[in-house]
C-alpha cells in the first residue's frame, strides 16, 4: 500500500552518522532494504562506503528511491543514537504525546511498552525506536514495520536481541506453538 506522500523528493547524498540527513519520503520496500542490510552486514560499520553500498543494493534489485530512503532513515538512526544518553530514574513514566499516539497507534505503543516492561528495550533504545518510527510518514504505523525498526535499533548498536525477542519480532502469532 503506497503512502500518500511517497513521491516527495529530497537531496541525494546521505551517509551514516551525518547530521544533515533528509526526511524519509517512505517507499514501501524501504523496509526490505533495511532487512537485507540486517541479514547481510552484522553491524553498520561492516557496511561498505555509501557509494559501494548503493551499487550493491542496486545490483541485488532494489530501486534508487528505496535505497535513498533506507540510507537516509539509517542516518537518522545514527543521529538518534548520538542524542540519547543516560537512563532516567527507574520510577519515570513515558507519556506519549498526542502526535505520537496518532502516528504510532495503539498496537505499536502496546508493543513498545511490552518490550520495555520485559526489560529488553532499555529507555534510550525505546526513545530511538520512537524517534525512527516517527520519521516514517503516515500512521498509524504498521506493527510489522515497527518490529523492523526495533531490530534495526539493536543492529545499529551492535547488539543481538536474544532468541525470544527475535521470535517475537519475526514469528507471526498464528505460527507459534503453544506448549
Residue 176 belongs to some domain of the structure: no
Residue 3 belongs to some domain of the structure: no
Q: What domain range includes position 147? A: 30-86+95-171
d(CA 113, CA 98): 16
C-alpha cell of residue 136:
516514517
Residue 1 belongs to some domain of the structure: no
Residue 8 belongs to some domain of the structure: no
Residue 7 belongs to some domain of the structure: no
CB-based contacts of 29: which residues, under 8 Å, 6+ apart?
62, 63, 66
Residue 14 belongs to some domain of the structure: no
Nearest to residue 155, comparing CAs of 36, 53, 72, 62? 36
Domain count within the chain: 1
| Rg for the chain, CA atoms, rounded | 16
Tens digits of per-residue pLDDT, 108-161? 999 999 999 888 888 999 999 999 999 998 889 999 999 999 999 999 988 888
Which band of pLDDT confidence, cut at 50, 70 and 90, is reported for residue 1?
very low
Amino acid at each position: 500500500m503506497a503512502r500518500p506522500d511517497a513521491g516527495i523528493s529530497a537531496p541525494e547524498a546521505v551517509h551514516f552518522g551525518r547530521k544533515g540527513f533528509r526526511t524519509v519520503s517512505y517507499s514501501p520496500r524501504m523496509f526490505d532494504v533495511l532487512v537485507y542490510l540486517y541479514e547481510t552486514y552484522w553491524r553498520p560499520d561492516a557496511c561498505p562506503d555509501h557509494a559501494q553500498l548503493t551499487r550493491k543494493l542496486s545490483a541485488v534489485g532494489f530501486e534508487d528511491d528505496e535505497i535513498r530512503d533506507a540510507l537516509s532513515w539509517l542516518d537518522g538512526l545514527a543521529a538518534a543514537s548520538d542524542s540519547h544518553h543516560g537512563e532516567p530514574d527507574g520510577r519515570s513514566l513515558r507519556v506519549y504525546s498526542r502526535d505520537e499516539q496518532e502516528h504510532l497507534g495503539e498496537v505499536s505503543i502496546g508493543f513498545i511498552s511490552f518490550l520495555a516492561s520485559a526489560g529488553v528495550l532499555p529507555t534510550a533504545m525505546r526513545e530511538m525506536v520512537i524517534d525512527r518510527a516517527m520519521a516514517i510518514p503516515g500512521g498509524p504505523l504498521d506493527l510489522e514495520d515497527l518490529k523492523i525498526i526495533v531490530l534495526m535499533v539493536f543492529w545499529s548498536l551492535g547488539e543481538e536481541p536474544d532468541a525470544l525477542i527475535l521470535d517475537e519480532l519475526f514469528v507471526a502469532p498464528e505460527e507459534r506453538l503453544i506448549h
